[in-house]
């Protein structure tokens, strides 16, 4: 299946808080991506910014009459030059895309319970997990209420969401990890069983999780500067117990215990 393709923008809806919902339909048939995999998107014809930008997708809507090659939904935060250009591109324009790339979140076994954790913009990588694992406890930490993207664009039911905010403007006031730890130990005391935690957030969150005694298999989605996205530039290296790995090819999803956090 062709992993280098063009795609037409069919929806590009900005939100007040800097997020935007981008939907594109590929011009050719593409492989169905796994949640946690990502796509490299060229934000325009210009050579500045030069490189493609990596984005996790939220949802792949299978081919239908309207979009014979299906469509991909992205939730993106306009944080830099590339994303701010992308945010303003009009419906009908075409983008160069490479993907799906990398390794997504592993499957959840029938005897395992999944907990999902999102920190800030990290929600874009794990939101899709709620579609395939309905009713899964979903821990979502934000700095403040205003930074929550509007979910109306996504196939997201919001069932079983535990929201936390640093300033207490919504949900539990405090760290998302604090609430997670509490719920995990409550679960262990209650029905018990094996827990998998799939998380996406800043590196500081992962470091904190690595230091916690969660008694669970934790998988995290990493982000690093990256050039090619296909494992050839060797730019997105990350230190692991198995040696240097490439975030784009061996990840972006890694078992947290394999990652070596320096300093």
Residues 2-21 that bind another protein (CB under 8 A): 2-4
Closer residue to another protein (CB): 99 or 128: 99
240-259 footprint of another protein as x/- string (CB under 8 A): ---xx---------------
52 touching another protein, by CB under 8 A: yes
Residues 210-239 that bind another protein (CB under 8 A): 224-228, 230-239
Closer residue to another protein (CB): 101 or 129: 101
Residues 136-165 that bind another protein (CB under 8 A): none
96-125 footprint of another protein as x/- string (CB under 8 A): x-x---------------------------
Closer residue to another protein (CB): 1 or 152: 1
Three-state SS string over the chain comes to: CCCEEEEEEEEEEECCCCEEEEEEEECCCCCCCCECEEEEECCCCCCCCCCCEEEECCEEECCCCCCCCCEEEEEEECCCHHHHHHHCCCCCCEEEEEEEECECCCCCCCCEEEEEEEEHHHHHHHCCHHHHCCCCCEEEEECCHHHCCCHHHCCCCCCCEEEEECCCCCCEECCHHHHHHHHHHHHHHCCCCEEEEEEECCHHHHHHHHCCCCCCEEEEECCCCCCCCCCCCCCCEEEECCEEEECCCCCEEEEHHHECCCC
What is the nearest approach in angstroms of another protein to the Cβ of residue 57?
Answer: 20
Contact residues toward another protein (CB under 8 A) are 2-4, 42, 47-52, 96, 98, 224-228, 230-239, 243-244, 262
């Amino acid at each position: 299946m062709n992993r280098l393709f063009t795609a037409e923008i069919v929806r590009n809806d900005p939100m007040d808080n800097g997020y935007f919902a981008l939907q594109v339909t590929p011009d050719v048939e593409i492989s169905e991506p796994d949640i946690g995999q990502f796509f490299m998107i060229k934000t325009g014809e210009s050579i500045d910014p030069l490189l493609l930008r990596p984005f996790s997708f939220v949802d792949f809507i299978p081919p239908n009459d309207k979009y014979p090659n299906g469509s991909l939904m992205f939730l993106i935060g306009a944080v830099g030059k590339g994303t701010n250009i992308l945010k303003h591109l009009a419906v009908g324009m075409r983008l160069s895309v490479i993907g799906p790339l990398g390794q997504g979140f592993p499957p959840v076994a029938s005897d395992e319970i999944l907990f999902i954790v999102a920190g800030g913009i990290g929600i874009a990588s794990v939101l899709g997990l709620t579609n395939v694992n309905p009713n899964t406890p979903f821990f979502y930490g934000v700095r403040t209420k205003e930074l929550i993207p509007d979910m109306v664009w996504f196939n997201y039911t919001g069932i079983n969401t535990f929201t936390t905010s640093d300033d207490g403007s919504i949900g539990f006031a405090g760290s998302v990890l604090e609430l997670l730890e509490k719920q995990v130990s409550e679960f262990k005391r209650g029905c018990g069983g094996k827990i998998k935690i799939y998380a996406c957030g800043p590196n500081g969150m992962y470091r904190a999780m690595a230091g916690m005694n969660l008694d669970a298999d934790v998988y995290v989605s990493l982000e690093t500067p990256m050039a090619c996205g296909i494992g050839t530039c060797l730019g997105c290296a990350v230190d692991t117990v198995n040696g240097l790995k490439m975030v784009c090819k061996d990840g972006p999803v890694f078992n947290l215990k394999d990652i070596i956090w320096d300093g």
